Amino acid sequence: MHELSIAMNIVEIAESEAGRRNARIEAVHLRLGPLSGVVKDALLSAWELACENTVLAGSRLVVEDVPLVVYCPRCKAQRTLDSISFLCPECQSPTPDVVHGRELEVFALEVGDAA
């Protein structure tokens, strides 16, 4: 369980953006890949606690799931996988090259008026 410390990292990023923009953060949008090592539900559960006594208190965490996308060397094309099993869904070749899926990224903030 390291989702609480991940949540606290996200709060820190959002806090510094809030300070820089002199704005109140209503929501944090996160992109999360299946290979990030972070469990979405655990992260959402940890969010309220991580925001306590910060300017983020009362904010929402919006998680966008990033699909697992690999490059198939035989098809010479990107393929989206349904599960973490690295075989091309079209030709069954092994696909070691991960294009998307490791993301653990704050990509946007919903900002309101200055606090």
Question: Given the complex with another protein, which of 31 and 48 has the nearer CB atom?
Answer: 31
User: Taking CB under 8 A as the rule, does residue 112 contact another protein?
Assistant: yes
Interaction of residue 84 with another protein, rule CB under 8 A: yes
Determine if 30 is a binding residue for another protein (CB under 8 A): yes
Q: How far from 112 is each of 10, 23, 50, 84, CA to CA, in Å?
A: 18, 6, 20, 38
Does position 29 bind another protein by CB under 8 A?
yes
Q: What single-letter DSSP state applies at residue 87?
A: B
Could you say whether residue 91 binds another protein (CB under 8 A)?
no
Give CA–CA dist 99/110, Å, rounded: 28
Note whether 55 binds another protein by CB under 8 A: no
Residue 106 CB, shortest distance to another protein, in Å, is 5
Chain centroid, CA 66 distance in Å? 8
Q: What is the DSSP string of 14-36?
A: HHHHHHHHT-EEEEEEEEE-TTS
**Which residues bind to another protein, rule: CB under 8 A?**
1-2, 5-6, 9-10, 13, 17, 21, 26-27, 29-30, 34-38, 84-87, 94-96, 98, 104-113
